[in-house]
A = this chain, B = another copy of it.
Amino acid sequence: LARKQDKDSDSLKTGQTFPNAPKTIAEIAEATGFSRTTIRFVVTGQAERYRIKAETQNKIKAYVAQHGLVLNHAARSLRLQRSDAIGLVLPDFANPFFACLTAEMEELCRKDHLVLLTASSHDEPDPEAKAIRRLLDRGIDGLVIAACRPDSYAILQRHRNRCAVVMVDRAFADVPFPTVVSDNEAAAYDLCRAMFRESQEPIDFLCAATHLPSISDRINGFRAACAEVGLTDPDHHMFRTSVDDCASGARLMTHVIETRGGVPPVFLCSSLLMFEGALQSVRSHYGRLPPSLILGTFDHNPLLDFLPNRSFSVRQNEKGIAVQLFECLKAQRLGEAPTAERHVIPACIRRPIDAP
């Protein structure tokens, strides 16, 4: 029979700085006199399966209730070859869309007792590769990545069997992993249709980062909507820049103003950053925003509703994306080989309250 009079010697022996600290399984075993296995069966809820005596269970539960218990995840990971951690590699966590996606992912992780490791790529290949490596080296079980270029996944392939992988936001072709993206083409099409219903004028599209598939899709949607209203030269209304930031938006709008001899009456920007830059440029030319301008942008900002101008925008369904990402991860973690299938999540068009 077990001896369980060791509490005193235990507290003396262990030179712990925190006698109140939660115990390890071994400490509980020693303190209660049962073996680690017995403790583990009880604390992991397998007591019934192994028919642990009720009295034993109660003693152990009482001890845990009083002293607390914390499993050592490093040891657990080492033994199970599994970290219960998910990595998230995104261009920029301060970007509202990615921030929102992070929040949704974190929520889903919490429910599955996973932790979320974050790393930013700044949309550049080298930091991205380092970020991916840094997470893979921690033995993450799953990885979500918004790739900055088509071959970003190359670094992953040697880890294929150890880590589930899903791509997000950037649906580059020929990527051997599932991809979850918004329906950018449909969103752009619907957005432009709504804007065309507002005004007969052609839409000038200020477009950054055209190498990204999400942007190509938006361009395709723009072209389709233009074709529908009989605009035969949509590309004459497209203005491109490579970098997606505020300064580029301002430069591009300044260029548009010079080209057109004035601010276009209706324009669309490929991102909020571009939008902000464009507005800055317009304001610096006119001293203010002419209220007659009709504005469109991808991404959402709650203050859009309060601009003096009529404006249209697209809000992606971050929660829907996160849920789909998680399902893809789960499928791979359950042993399915990763497929290259693409999941397209509808986005939401926001327009002025009284717009058609």
Q: Identify the A interface with B (CB < 8 A).
A: 5, 8-9, 12, 15-22, 68, 70-75, 77-78, 83, 85, 92-96, 99-100, 102-103, 106-107, 110, 113, 115-120, 125-126, 129-131, 133-139, 151, 154-155, 157-162, 246, 272, 276, 279-280, 283, 289, 291, 301-308
Of the candidates B100, B102, B115, B162, which one forms a contact with A138 in the assembled complex, judged by CB atoms under 8 Å apart? Answer: B115
Are B17 and A157 within 8 A (Cβ)?
Answer: yes
Alpha-carbon distance between A116 and B21 when the two chains are bound, in angstroms: 23
Are A75 and B78 within 8 A (Cβ)?
Answer: yes
Are A106 and B120 within 8 A (Cβ)?
Answer: yes
**Which 6 residue pairs across A and B have the least CB separation, nearest first?**
A99-B99, A74-B77, A303-B303, A94-B103, A74-B78, A93-B103
Are B103 and A110 within 8 A (Cβ)?
Answer: no
Could you show 17 A-B contacts with beta carbons less than 8 Å apart?
A17-B158, A18-B159, A20-B157, A21-B160, A70-B137, A70-B160, A74-B83, A85-B138, A92-B103, A93-B103, A93-B106, A110-B130, A116-B118, A118-B118, A283-B306, A306-B307, A307-B307
Alpha-carbon distance between A73 and B73 when the two chains are bound, in angstroms: 11
Are A137 and B73 within 8 A (Cβ)?
Answer: yes
Of the candidates B21, B113, B158, which one forms a contact with A68 in the assembled complex, judged by CB atoms under 8 Å apart? Answer: B158
Are A74 and B74 within 8 A (Cβ)?
Answer: yes
Closest to A291 in B: B308
Are B20 and A158 within 8 A (Cβ)?
Answer: yes
Closest to A160 in B: B21
Minimum Cβ distance to chain B for residue A118 (Å): 5
Are A103 and B115 also in contact (CB < 8 A) when A17-B157, A17-B161, A19-B158 are? Answer: no
Point out the residues of chain B lying under 8 angstroms from A303, CB to CB.
Answer: 276, 279, 301, 303-304, 307
Are B116 and A162 within 8 A (Cβ)?
Answer: no
Point out the residues of chain B lying under 8 angstroms from A115, CB to CB.
Answer: 117, 119, 134-135, 138
Are A159 and B126 also in contact (CB < 8 A) when A93-B99, A119-B110, A134-B115 are? Answer: no
Alpha-carbon distance between A125 and B9 when the two chains are bound, in angstroms: 11
Point out the residues of chain B lying under 8 angstroms from A130, CB to CB.
Answer: 5, 8, 110
Alpha-carbon distance between A242 and B106 when the two chains are bound, in angstroms: 26
Point out the residues of chain B lying under 8 angstroms from A137, CB to CB.
Answer: 70-71, 73
Point out the residues of chain B lying under 8 angstroms from A159, CB to CB.
Answer: 18, 21-22, 70
Closest to A273 in B: B302
Alpha-carbon distance between A115 and B83 when the two chains are bound, in angstroms: 14
Point out the residues of chain B lying under 8 angstroms from A280, CB to CB.
Answer: 305
Are B94 and A110 within 8 A (Cβ)?
Answer: no
Are A134 and B161 also in contact (CB < 8 A) when A100-B94, A118-B102, A304-B303 are? Answer: no
Alpha-carbon distance between A77 and B161 when the two chains are bound, in angstroms: 22
